[in-house]
Amino acid sequence: ANITNTGNEAIKNIMEIWQLPSGFEIISGQETKECGNLIKDEICTSEIVVKTQQSIFLGANEIKIRVRYEK
């Protein structure tokens, strides 16, 4: 996931939080990433690798990432 500050002001205390459906397990990377502060057009990237059983059905838009920040 790439988080980009597309605004004109800096944003502070950014945290990325992966939200996975049940049955998924992170095997590489972190569930949360603190990005700190981003100035205009700056990017914070978070990567994970997940595993699951073959019996899990993954529908559209079920893996999500939540972002918290302050202006």
What is the pTM assigned to this prediction? 0.76
Is 10 exposed, middle or buried (CB count within 10 Å of its CB: 0-12, 13-18, 19+)? Answer: middle
Each residue's pLDDT tens digit in the chain (71 positions)?
A: 999 999 999 999 999 999 988 888 999 999 999 999 999 999 999 999 998 877 777 666 577 888 888 87
Give the angle subtended at the CA of 47 by the CAs of 61 and 62, to the nearest 5°: 15
Question: Which pLDDT belongs to residue 29?
Answer: 95
Question: Which pLDDT belongs to residue 38?
Answer: 95
Question: Which pLDDT belongs to residue 39?
Answer: 95
Residue whose tokens read 């981003």: 38
